[in-house]
Amino acid sequence: MRHVLLITRNLPPLRGGMERLNLQLARELNPGGSLDIVGPEGCRGELPDGVTAIECRLKPLPLFLFSALFGAIRAVLRRRPSFVMAGSGLCAPLAWIAARLSGARAAVYLHGLDIVVDSVVYRNLWLPFIRHCDVCMVNSKNTAELAVVAGISPERIQIVHPGVDLPQEFPCGSTIDSFRRDKGWDGRRVLLSVGRLTERKGLIEFVEYVLPLIVERYPDILLAVVGNDAPDALRRVARNIRASVEVAVSALGLERHVVLHGELNDEDLKCAYAAADVAIFPVRDIPGDVEGFGMVAIEAAAYGLPTVAFAVGGVPDAVSNGISGFLVKPGDYPGFVDAIGRVLDAPSGEFKSGSRDFAKGFAWASFGEKIRPLSVANHGT
């Protein structure tokens, strides 16, 4: 039987797009219970049946890396894998070492930031291991371009977009009405922001430069923010984004137009996608802090919700311009206002079917169809 080893810091119970993707990697790489995982504390309860997990303390980071390395060596000694994969660039050295110990092929899934991160230590110690992996899977065309610039051979690069759970059924009208009343959305048109609150997501700038102009045009508008700050993120955060958003909202007198929900459970998040009018993704173009893809735009599209986003990093792969929303030139805040207006002023349901059809191309089944062959094919080293 073919054995696979996945090494990653990004798995539930941590929350985020990378965590959802790595959980799906685990599902796709586990044929017949042949997967071992080295991951963060608490991940075992979230994994598919039959997966063997070696859990490591998440913090501090050096301790996680040392523990994960020894965990990977234990996994190699227990049953020699034929394929070793790192769930991000962070774990690429561990995957490469484990693969060489077992005579296996090494692979890494790159998200964008783990190529361009502004760290001399990372660039000198981590990137060489990434360059020597047999397969480098990347989440977007932009990440593929960044990988080539970083010295990774184009022959080793495979674009594998993250996927989405396509709804088997959509929340019914009464459920949506109840949700809107419960969340204070009743009688309002809603702009929805979903995701961890980081500088790169651009929510503060959206409140400062876009929302006041939207309120002038649409006095009933409400910005609903789903997500919290990211305490487990590797990149240091200079300020508390949630608090900064609250300060900006207060300074501009927009309290009636913004609600911060924090985290929502899965069922409420589905209702949020189904009940909102526009998803916003005002990502900033920050050197050394790239947005690799844009999973929330695909998730929104799966529920027929169009997204307005800045065309930054890998985001253009996640929004079909004019079909599942609109892409705006980075930093063009007046253009962002106009794009939101185009969605709000369009006939009811105009973007719904196009968004859903676009999302179908990102079903997790398609993700698996691309991942599984890469784990068994022969690639030169």
Ranges of each domain in the chain:
4-163+363-374, 173-360
pLDDT given at position 379: 44
Strand pairing partners for 194? 226
Q: Could you tell me the pLDDT band of residue 233, with boundaries at 50, 70 and 90?
A: low
Average model confidence (pLDDT) across the chain: 92
Q: Do domains 4-163+363-374 and 173-360 have the same CATH topology?
A: yes
Residue 323 pLDDT: 97
- How many whole angstroms separate alpha carbon 318 and alpha carbon 297? 6
Q: For 173-360, which CATH superfamily applies?
A: Glycogen Phosphorylase B; (3.40.50.2000)
pLDDT confidence bin for 302, thresholds 50/70/90 = very high
Give the mean pLDDT of 324-350: 96
* Residue 35: both structure tokens together: 């997967």
Question: First and final CA of the chain: distance in angstroms?
Answer: 23
Give dist(CA 201, CA 310) in Å, integer.
Answer: 10
Structure confidence at residue 286 as a pLDDT band (50, 70, 90)? confident
Backbone angles phi, psi at 6, to 5 degrees: -115, 125
Task: Of 59-68, 113-122, 136-145, 259-268, give the lowest mean pLDDT range.
Answer: 113-122
Question: pLDDT category, 255, cuts 50, 70, 90?
Answer: very high
| Tokens, residue 232 | 């487990």
Tokens at 24, concatenated: 């799906």
pLDDT > 70? residue 377: no
221 versus 196: the higher-pLDDT residue is 221
Position 303 scores a pLDDT of 97
pLDDT beyond 70 at 55:
yes
Split at pLDDT 50, 70, 90, the class of 223 is very high
Q: What is the mean pLDDT of residues 250-274?
A: 96
Res. 381: pLDDT tops 50: no
Residue 298 near residue 167 (C-beta atoms within 8 A)? no
Q: From 330, 371, 291, select the one nearest 112 (Cα to Cα).
A: 291
Q: Between 45 and 337, where is the model more confident?
A: 337
Please, are residues 56 and 71 in contact by the beta-carbon 8 Å criterion? yes
Q: Tokens in use for 40?
A: 């963060």
What percentage of the chain carries pLDDT values higher than 70? 95
DSSP secondary structure letter of residue 9:
S
Cα–Cα distances (Å) from 65 to 13, 62, 69, 251, 303, in that order, read: 18, 5, 6, 43, 38
pLDDT exceeds 50 at position 64: yes
Domain 4-163+363-374 CATH assignment equals 3.40.50.150: no
